[in-house]
Amino acid sequence: MASSPSEPVVRAWARLERAHRAAQTAVEARLKEAGLPPLAWYDALLELERAGADGLRPFELQREMLFAQYNLSRLIDRLVAAGYVVRSASAEDGRGQVLGLTREGRAMRKRMWPVYAAAIEDAVGRHLSLAEATTLADLLGRLYSRPTK
């Protein structure tokens, strides 16, 4: 049986969770105030833009975004309905799908970025020096291992 975490570890966990919720709530509010889609839309559009012309299979987008499959399916449906994403048959597997970013999707992601960037600055940047932000990013990076492709 594993030992219990130390008090500093529990405190770090609680503060990490609270900071994440506060920052995400602030970002979502700023996007909504600007009449823009939610943050998940930005993240999906960004990952599809990064994928380039090859696009991504839904499971690849899911892996990049760390989304539950059922949530991602609804998100993809909404992005397709908005005209920001297209589905096409996979060349590798005729039953599979490839998701691609449309011109409108790229334009929406670019439109969202200034609002998102300002919200990030307000939620995090104005509270930390550049050195502190670098240290925090390094520390958080040690807690997060990106899934391999």
**Can you give the CATH number for the domain in which 34 is found?**
1.10.10.10
44's tokens: 């999906």
Residue 56 DSSP code: B
pLDDT at 124 over 70: yes
4's tokens: 């219990």
Provide the pLDDT for residue 64: 87
118 alpha-carbon distance from chain centroid: 16
- Name which residue leads in pLDDT, 105 or 93: 105
Tell me if 44 is assigned to some domain: yes
Distance CA 101, CA 83 (A): 9
Outline where DSSP puts E strands in 1-149: 85-89, 97-101
Tell me if 12 is assigned to some domain: yes
Provide the pLDDT for residue 14: 97
Tell me if 113 is assigned to some domain: yes
- The number of distinct structural domains making up the chain is 1
Structural domain containing residue 20: 7-142
- Name which residue leads in pLDDT, 63 or 46: 46
* The amino acid at 86: V
Tell me if 148 is assigned to some domain: no
Residue % of the chain over a pLDDT of 70: 93
Provide the pLDDT for residue 146: 60
Question: What does the chain come to in residues?
Answer: 149
Tell me if 2 is assigned to some domain: no
Q: Which residues of 2-19 are buried (b: 16+ CB within 10 A; e: fewer)?
A: eeeeeeeeeeeeeeeeee
Tell me if 17 is assigned to some domain: yes
Give the residue-averaged pLDDT of 86-95.
83
88's tokens: 């096409």
Q: pTM (2 decimals)?
A: 0.85
pLDDT at 130 over 60: yes
Tell me if 147 is assigned to some domain: no
Tell me if 16 is assigned to some domain: yes
- Band the pLDDT of 96: cuts 50, 70, 90: confident
